[in-house]
Structure 1
Amino acid sequence: MKNKIGIICLIFFTQLIFAQNENRKPLHGQFQNETALVDNGYVFNLNSKTRTFISNQGFFDILAKAKDTLLVSSATFKSRKIVLQDKDFLKPLLVLNLESQTTILNEVIVKGKTEIKPAIPSSQKIVDMEFIDDVQSSPKNRAMPSDGTIENGMDFVRMFKMVSKLFRKDNAEKAESISQLGFADAVSKGVDRYFFTNTLNLKVDEIGLFLDYCENDPKSKTLLKEKDEFMLIDFLITKNEEFKRITNFEK
């Protein structure tokens, strides 16, 4: 009985996949850059939830149709969202440009050489010296920490502070500019990058792709108007779980 149910589910799932791709046809394309060779990354079809990798010469092939939204992600180039049109399928090769990812380096200050003179106290001073607790002398109580924190747990206070500045009204002009931006741009500029890289465990080059994925959800259009920090946090965490399942299912 269980085998019959499994076979029925497999047939239904296969038919569903074929139904999604029934009206789609192969799209052949190549990504280019003015200064560097595009040789890594992947193309993700948001509508059919399929993905393909970019070859070492920038070529890609994916099933798509007009009005499908493609998201491009690469470690060395900026993420890009493309809405396909009918004319794109008339070309034997669709050539698209990607912008280089610019990395801003922190300023490094090199100071002059400093001579270190060790001070050796007397043996009595060493005996009388007081030492602070270390890991060996005062092991941490993981069951009931003294500071009340939860080990490996989410710091919701810090998360709230990182997200709340998106809705903070320092002046009327700033509030108006946020309402005019799209969801991806507003969250990217208003939420601390630490939230994406540490709380959501996203790579830097995945942040733009993730926000574009969130913006495709109709719910994202109301979140900025409601200005509810907790709803935004819950939305981003939920979409992050979906995003990782989708982007990892072909690995």
Structure 2
Amino acid sequence: MKSKIGILILLMCCQVCLGQILTRKSLHGRVVNDSIAIENGLVFNVNAKTGSIIDQKGYFSILVKAKDTLVFSSLGFKSKKIVLTEKDISSSFFRVNLQAIARQLIEVVVHAKKGSPPEFGNTQSIVDTQYYDDALSSPENPLMMPTGTGDNGIDCIRVYNMVFKNLKKTNPNKTDFVSDMGFTSIAMKSVSYSFFTNTLKLDDDEIGLFLLFCENDPKSKTFVSTSKQFDIMDFLITKNEEFKNITTFEK
């Protein structure tokens, strides 16, 4: 009896997966920025509960259908949600533009590829200072790259610095903390977007940094050859506690 139930569940899962494939088609595209090349990143299909890696040149491919919501994110850039239309999925090539969060943050990521993320001094004093626009303030120029002096730019710089400082401390001989995406690729196939946002309580802009934090734990390499979903979920939950301890600070 148990074997029959098991077979029935397996058939139902196969039917759901087959339905996903039959109703969705591959969307090919590239994630870009007006000023900087985007290297590596993540794209989630929230509706299909699937994800894919954005490669080192910004290209991606993911199964979609009309009205699916895609979430794009990359280190140092503001994440973006897009609800797809029939026109989007019928296009031969889909282009997505992400805005850099702050110039200094891009520098942090670039230096992290060399194993030496820069420090920008005590940014907490800037975080604690409130600035308000007035009639004489200079208007924001949307064509200029953000400097990190507004919104949550400085907060992000500080968080990135804290994470990379921890990675450097725990991996003193490592020279590149960014390029390896082996575990990230496995995790994207094992858990859904909602697991990151609802279970782990991560913001869209934090998911990439969190997975990079996990990627640089030697234990993550054990999942590349043996990807067990429950073990990966348990690992992510444990690492999330560490991540929150590092990135949480009083404002």
Q: Same fold (TM over 0.5)?
A: no
Q: TM-score range by the shorter chain?
A: 0.3 to 0.5
Which is bigger in relative contact order (C-alpha 8 A, separation at least 6)? 2
TM-score by length of 2: 0.43
More helix by share: 2
TM-score by length of 1: 0.43
